[in-house]
A and B are shown apart, each in its own frame.
Chain A
Amino acid sequence: MNDQNLRQLIMDVLVAEGHEDDDVTSETALAEGGLELTSLELVRLLVSLEERLGVEFDDATIMNAHFGTVDDIVALVAQSA
């Protein structure tokens, strides 16, 4: 899956969780000024991505990471593939 498809998948998951549909770029902020996610919503997003992509992110990798933009999630997926 290329980065653009992954960004679209992220948006699909968020819309399914009740967020508004919006264009996201690699630089879109996950929290303030962007998608306005809470930390718990971010974990829910990551867990949904795990289910859709058939991967499991390592708890230690996730808990010690800082997530600023959509690109940080794309990088996590690439690292876990």
Chain B
Amino acid sequence: MTGIPAAWYNVLPDLGFELPPDRPSPQARPAGLTLHVPATLVRQEMNRRRWLPVPEEVLQRYRQWRPTPLQRAHAFERVLGTNCRIYYKYEGGNLSGSHKLNTAVAQGFYYQRAGASCLAVGTGAGQWGTAVAAACAMFGMGCRVYMVRASCEAKPYRRTIMEALGATVIPSPSDRTQAGRQAQRGPVGQSGSLAVALAEALEDAREPGTHFCTGSGETYSLLHQTVAGLEAQEQLASLADPPDVIVASLGGGSNLGGLVLPFLGAMLTGGRPVRCVSVEPSACPKLTRGRYAYDFTDASGLAPLQKMYTLGHAFSPPAIHAGGLRYHATAKLISSLYHRELIEAVAYPQRAVFASGLSFARAEGIVPAPESAHAVHGAAMEALRADRAGQRQSILMGISGHGMFDMAAYQAYLDGTMTDSAVPEDEIARSLARLPEQPVDA
């Protein structure tokens, strides 16, 4: 019987290198500093101990849905006709329907303890917004969610669940903030982007008692998400079948990080070799076609610069259905791992991804979120590649959430109206040309 980890795994002491420090935004001119992040979260980022205890208040919440199941996808293997063993770790069985609740609960606990009365967040597909709304409901805080308008309209019941949890949902770009009004006049227009939604939430947090809850790509978020990877490690050990390959989709980086970091850390400290494969959409190819550089994390340009793989903060990806993977950049921790060739990356177009997602749903009885369907497709491609090489591999994939709010996307696929969007090289080049001036020692 697998238990819930009593401590999160901190990979930083096992990396053997430091993450690049954040740099001040050249556009921010603060007369003083007000902190939006509870110091405990930063203490966790700076900590060099390998294990950081999960507070009892967070463990109590984790017990509502953890440990999450790890299953072997026998039926999906038969559909593929593969000789590989494919396992999936399913994180969709909670109130928010995705892995995001693993860190939202922890962050909600720390924010409430630090005196926050309301959290303001930006969300793309709505999973982060739903998770923070759930965490705010648990810990008695208000919640305002700026949700990318195109996503909000495509998934109306995402809005309903957030409002049912007590949150106020504002389609972004909105007229409530300067960032929203400015975005409506620019190339983003009414459809919105995550960078704009984040900028609106950041501006909203000027209200007394309200704090901007950054998102799921911060290093402490990845730390909290390691509960998934730690459980998977124990579950596969009990089956005596450790993975040769781990496949997860990549948006902000917390899903991939949470699943692979415990395995990667074990490898870095002399354990079993494992390949970790990030799967991103061809329409938002930050690792496979982006640049490792300092960039803005949101459209306001006021937050500190982070060094990460980015397509440029001005990049506006095509309106694909995996809204959670449309962010222009990814976590600095994941970026540093890719830069040092500790993880691999592939990109696939959405129609192939949805075909695999539906195939998995029919075989295994779980409709994967469009984001998670990227992992399904990536794992299928890995299995077929191993078959061609005559290898019988053990493959672990992360099903980060369910797709029951994404029926419009599946309907588009079934109707044949879904299209694949190629991103021209000159479009990426134009966006990268607008990167901020790089620090001289970067």
Contacts and interface: CB of A to CB of B under 8 A. Distances in A.
B32 A59 contact: no
B115 A63 contact: yes
A31 B25 CA distance: 11
Interface stretch (B40-48, B82-90, B135-143, B342-350): B40-48
Contact of B24 (A38, A47, A65, A68): A38
Contact of B304 (A17, A32, A39, A62): A39
A9 B113 CA distance: 29
A59 B114 CA distance: 5
A77 to B, nearest CB: 14
B301 interface: no
Contacts of B25: 38
B35 A65 contact: yes
A37 B32 contact: no
B24 A36 contact: yes
Given A63-B211, A66-B33, A68-B32, A43 B23 contact: no
Interface residues of A, number: 30
A72 to B, nearest CB: 8
Interface string A19-38: 00000000001111000111
B21 A63 contact: no
Given A37-B24, A41-B22, A66 B32 contact: yes
A65 B28 CA distance: 19
Interface of B: 21-25, 28-40, 42-43, 46, 110, 113-116, 211, 304
**Shortest 5 CB-CB distances between A and B: which pairs?**
A68-B32, A59-B114, A60-B115, A43-B42, A38-B304
Interface of A: 17-18, 29-32, 36-44, 46-48, 50, 57, 59-60, 62-69
